[in-house]
């Protein structure tokens, strides 16, 4: 398969990074600080970004990387960077062959800071660019809910490979969805899923492991003959998408089931494997631009599982412009066969405001 090496490196790198995030979750001090936009970032976000970028640079030294985090604050904060360095050094897969694929450890604190800062690419329409969200749904991560480690490769502006590590989703692709999903932090039994897709080659899921890759199985969206029976997913944070508009759309579609609220791209993963049906993310702010790392992996996984993803106005998401989806507003993800019907109602609801 084309992109087999990229896929393998991305899957192992994401799997290893989830070990680091899980370790951070179980530690009392998560090293949480606030970014300029007041959003939280933890030692887990920085550590996961360092490990993943190191693996990409070792294997594909000419590729560019758009990563959510940077090391500016860490360069001024010795205690925080020491904490991250300790974590990064001790996080390894229990499989020497898998570790060898990832290309060897970071050599020093400076090497780690440089790796984190290698995620500063401006993005764009030319060549090979990785989009990395080391912890998506940081607020979900902190409250013991859903979060995802997200990595995608874009080739000439098209998302081509996507991997999502979701440590708190049930392994069973058909496990019923509700908003408490993954909330029991003390029960890790049967949880942790790695989702992947390569453009034109389908989507898969497999259990996350502490060592090499487990066997995978194909996933696909649920065929939905009656839209009123749909389960729709939305953000937990009312500040990230409009719960009001989403409720109005669901109502107009005749959907009666309560929405499932979960943080992160676990929403894309959940509809891709047929546990849910729709993902609606309608904008709350006129000026906010969605970040490419919040969507790239999820979009190719849903697409390969038989879905269509557009913005709120039915336009394809354009990953080729830079670090943000500046040509788009909001997200509507649905099975191919019903996307047009959903999109029509989304446009009606938004234009009646």
Ligand X SMILES: Nc1ncnc2c1ncn2[C@@H]1O[C@H](COP(=O)(O)OS(=O)(=O)O)[C@@H](OP(=O)(O)O)[C@H]1O
Binding site listing for Mg(2+): 68, 133, 135-136, 294
CB of 226 vs ligand X, minimal distance in Å: 27
Residue 288 engages ligand X in binding (rule: CB under 6 A): yes
Binding site listing: 68, 133, 135-136, 294
Q: Is 21 a catalytic residue?
A: no
350 HSE (CA, 13 A, CB side)? 22
CB of 146 vs ligand X, minimal distance in Å: 8
What is the three-class DSSP state of 59? helix
Alpha-carbon distance 256 to 127, whole Å?
Answer: 45
Candidate list 138, 231, 308, 310, residue with the active-site label: 138
Q: Which of residues 118-147 bind Mg ion (CB under 5 A)?
A: 133, 135-136, 138
Residue found under tokens 């904490």: 83
Residue 291 engages ligand X in binding (rule: CB under 6 A): yes
Alpha-carbon distance 269 to 279, whole Å?
Answer: 10
Binding mask 22-41 for ligand X (x = CB under 6 A): -----------------x--
Interface region with ligand X, contact rule CB under 6 A, candidates 71-79, 135-143, 299-307, 308-316:
135-143
Is residue 30 within 8 A of residue 42, CB to CB? The reply is yes
Binding mask 62-101 for Mg ion (x = CB under 5 A): ------x---------------------------------
Run of H or E including 234: strand 232-234
Q: Is 45 a catalytic residue?
A: yes
Distance set, CA 304 to CA 174, 202, 262 (Å): 18, 5, 22
Alpha-carbon distance 204 to 217, whole Å?
Answer: 5
Distance set, CA 16 to CA 93, 102, 164, 236 (Å): 6, 10, 12, 27
Query: Contact with ligand X (CB under 6 A): which of 240, 243, 273, 339?
Result: 240
Q: Which of residues 282-341 bind Mg ion (CB under 5 A)?
A: 294
Residue 295 engages ligand X in binding (rule: CB under 6 A): no
Query: Contact with ligand X (CB under 6 A): which of 6, 63, 99, 133?
Result: 133
End-to-end CA distance of the chain: 47
Which residues in this chain contact ligand X in the complex, by CB under 6 A? 39, 68, 133, 136-140, 235-237, 239-240, 263-264, 285, 288, 291, 294
Positions annotated as catalytic residues are: 45, 138
């Amino acid at each position: 398969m084309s992109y087999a090496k990229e896929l393998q490196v991305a899957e192992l790198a994401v799997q290893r990074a989830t070990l680091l995030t899980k370790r951070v979750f179980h530690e009392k001090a998560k090293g949480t600080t606030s970014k300029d936009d007041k959003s939280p970032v933890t030692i887990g976000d920085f550590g996961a970004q360092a490990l993943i970028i190191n693996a990409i640079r070792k294997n594909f030294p000419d590729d560019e990387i758009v990563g959510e985090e940077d090391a500016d604050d860490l360069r001024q904060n010795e205690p925080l960077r020491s904490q991250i360095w300790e974590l990064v050094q001790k996080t390894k897969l229990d499989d020497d062959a898998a570790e060898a694929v990832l290309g060897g450890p970071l050599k020093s604190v400076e090497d780690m800071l440089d790796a984190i800062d290698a995620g500063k690419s401006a993005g764009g329409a030319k060549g090979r660019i990785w989009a990395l969200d080391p912890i998506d749904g940081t607020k979900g991560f902190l409250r013991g809910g859903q979060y995802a480690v997200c990595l995608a490769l874009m080739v000439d502006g098209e998302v081509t490979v996507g991997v999502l590590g979701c440590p708190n989703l049930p392994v069973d692709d058909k496990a019923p969805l509700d908003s408490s999903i993954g909330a029991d932090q003390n029960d890790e039994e049967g949880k942790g899923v790695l989702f992947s897709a390569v453009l034109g080659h389908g989507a898969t899921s497999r259990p996350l492991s502490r060592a090499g890759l487990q066997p995978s199985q194909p996933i696909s969206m649920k065929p939905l003959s009656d839209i009123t029976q749909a389960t729709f997913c939305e953000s937990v944070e009312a500040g990230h998408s409009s719960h009001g508009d989403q409720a109005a759309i669901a109502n107009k579609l005749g959907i009666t089931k309560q929405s499932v609220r979960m943080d992160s791209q676990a929403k894309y993963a959940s509809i891709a494997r047929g546990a849910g049906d729709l993902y609606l993310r309608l904008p709350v702010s006129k000026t906010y631009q969605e970040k490419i790392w919040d969507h790239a992996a999820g979009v190719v996984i849903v697409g390969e599982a038989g879905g269509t993803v557009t913005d709120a106005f039915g336009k394809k998401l354009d990953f080729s412009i830079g670090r943000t989806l500046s040509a788009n507003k909001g997200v509507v993800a649905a099975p191919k066969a019903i996307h047009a019907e959903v999109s029509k109602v989304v446009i009606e609801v938004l234009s009646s405001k």
